[in-house]
Amino acid sequence: MKVADRMARLVASDPVFRKDNRTMLPRTELFKDTLKKAAHAWKRIVELRLTEEEANLLRLYMDQPGYVDLHWVRIPTILYSLYILIYNIEAIVKEQQKKWLPLAYKFQIIGFYAQTELGHGSNVQGLETTATFDPKTDEFVIHSPTLTSGKWWPGGLGKASTHAIVHARLITEGKDYGIHGFIVQLRSLEDHSPLPSVTLGDIGGKFGSGAYNSMDNGVLQFDHLHIPRDQMLMRLSQVTKEEKYVHSDVPKQLLYGTMVYVRQTIVADASKAVTCCLYCCKVQCYSKAVLNYKTQQSRLFPLLASAYAFRFVGEWLKWLYTDVTHKLEAKDFSTLQEAHACTAGLKAVTTFDAIEECQKLCGGHGYLNSSGLPELFAVYVPACTYEGDNVVLLLQIARFLMKTVSQLASGKQPVGTTAYMGNIQYLMQCKCGVTTAEDWLNPAAIKEVFEARALRMAVNCAHNISKAPSQEEGWYYAYEFKAF
């Protein structure tokens, strides 16, 4: 039996993992249910000595957002694993690892990742929380100077966690060095109560029944909390006892690797969601009848095609992540920008509203919790927002494409997925060789058509932008162009 089937059965046959009552549980019960499932899953993983692949599949089929999601990205390092990924496995320097990882491994401390603030979501550069170095005590003072600087949304913060990686503006010798990470204890390890100088709580109910209500997303304010200097994450840079800010020789570009990773997982999920939706549509007795209508087909079949495309592109992104990681380790940054634009664009394109369309295609049935679509929708719709608002990401990729087009004239060869743009002489004037329906079965013909169309649109768009009175106006036109 395939490993995926084995893990699916393991989840389906275990009453602790039941899902049928999930949309009916009041939030408190739902949260307790999530804690019980997380503990039980961990117990099973240990008892059955599951591999990392098996454990990830178990979590996938358990399919309930919870505070442990942040730990499970990379078993067995567990705690802070997401962060470790961000800084490419060895983010936390050796001494820091020695101190924190064993505690984390035994669940003696539970960590989460505190970046977003009430007034600042995707805009990391706008974060307001400060970490001011005090040479007298050799400590950082973590502080929330405004209402909008309160950490807002982090999963695990509301109830479960004891420690956090807090992102804050590092200030030393009166100078602001921008956003850095700090390990901060928030709750007592004795009775789980918040430490003095820390105010925190759950931010309340979220969209849908079940869905993300199983997660304890939280709010957090600091009132001059002191932490030892060595709790700064020091792989990329550090502050000395003498207040000096010192860069390490590790290149900053390493930070981008993780975005590729996280967005790759979102794209993979997108294929799952579309597939589930289509399955729901198909088995609904209602839709069986209406599937014969051309209007229904014209809405459903493109989504089905997308489900396949997302599945394949998800697999390809795994390869891209491995490729980028290897190149970064060798300090080769030549494809990084293209890979980054690529994942940004794919994340935005794959998280548009297929589930809602499927819901509507099911008529009233898609609105009932028993169809599974409402919960799927509620879990999936924030993907349009987290890890970068889709419109912002589309503008990023637009900017990258415009830059690539402008560099073609200078002879700079585009790389990766944009390599085809190097063929500009041919693609701008070629005529489609397709004459019969069968010709479309030739993948090379389809590929050429897409390349010619994409390049001509990009060149046309660059032309439009160059005519705009200002660059900002130009980007606005670029966006309008996309809408057509």
Q: Annotated catalytic sites, by residue?
A: 387
275 interacts with its own copies by CB under 8 A: no
118 interacts with its own copies by CB under 8 A: yes
| Tokens describing residue 397 | 């990729």
Give the integer Cα–Cα distance in Å for 327 and 337: 12
The CB-of-51 to its own copies minimum distance in angstroms stands at: 34
Give the orientation angle of helix 443-467 with respect to helix 390-408, to 10 degrees: 90
479 interacts with its own copies by CB under 8 A: yes
396 interacts with its own copies by CB under 8 A: no
Of the candidates 39, 61, 59, the residue with the CA atom closest to the CA atom of residue 51: 59
Q: Which residues have a Cβ under 8 Å from the Cβ of 250 and sit 6 or more positions away?
A: 235, 236
291 interacts with its own copies by CB under 8 A: no
Among 208, 372, 416, 422, binds its own copies (CB under 8 A): 208
Part in contact with its own copies (CB under 8 A); list of ranges 49-57, 111-119, 271-279, 336-344: 111-119
Closer Cβ to its own copies, 31 or 133, answer by number: 31
How would you write 369-419 as a 3-class SS string?
HHHCHHHHHHHHHHHHCCCCCHHHHHHHHHHHHHHHHHHHCCCCCCCHHHH
205 interacts with its own copies by CB under 8 A: yes
Q: Which residues have a Cβ under 8 Å from the Cβ of 337 and sit 6 or more positions away?
A: 400
Closer Cβ to its own copies, 99 or 206, answer by number: 206
Closer Cβ to its own copies, 268 or 395, answer by number: 395
383 interacts with its own copies by CB under 8 A: no
Element (H, E) at 166: strand 163-172
DSSP output for 24-73:
GS-HHHHHHHHHHHHHHHHHHHHHTT--HHHHHHHHHHH----GGGGTGG
Near its own copies in 212-231, by CB under 8 A: 212-213
24 interacts with its own copies by CB under 8 A: yes
Closer Cβ to its own copies, 111 or 374, answer by number: 374
The CB-of-374 to its own copies minimum distance in angstroms stands at: 4
Near its own copies in 354-373, by CB under 8 A: 356, 359-360, 363-364, 366-370
Q: Are 251 and 331 in contact (CB under 8 A)?
A: yes
Query: Does a cis peptide bond (omega within 30 degrees of 0) precede residue 154?
Result: no
Q: Residue 242: helix, strand or coil by DSSP? A: coil
The CB-of-231 to its own copies minimum distance in angstroms stands at: 27
353 interacts with its own copies by CB under 8 A: yes
Q: Residue 284: helix, strand or coil by DSSP? A: coil
Q: Are 124 and 167 in contact (CB under 8 A)?
A: yes
The CB-of-464 to its own copies minimum distance in angstroms stands at: 15
Interface residues with its own copies (CB under 8 A) are 23-24, 26-27, 116, 118-119, 121-122, 147-148, 152-153, 203-209, 212-213, 285-286, 289, 294-295, 298-299, 353, 356, 359-360, 363-364, 366-370, 374, 377-378, 381-382, 384-386, 389-392, 395, 472-473, 475-476, 479-480
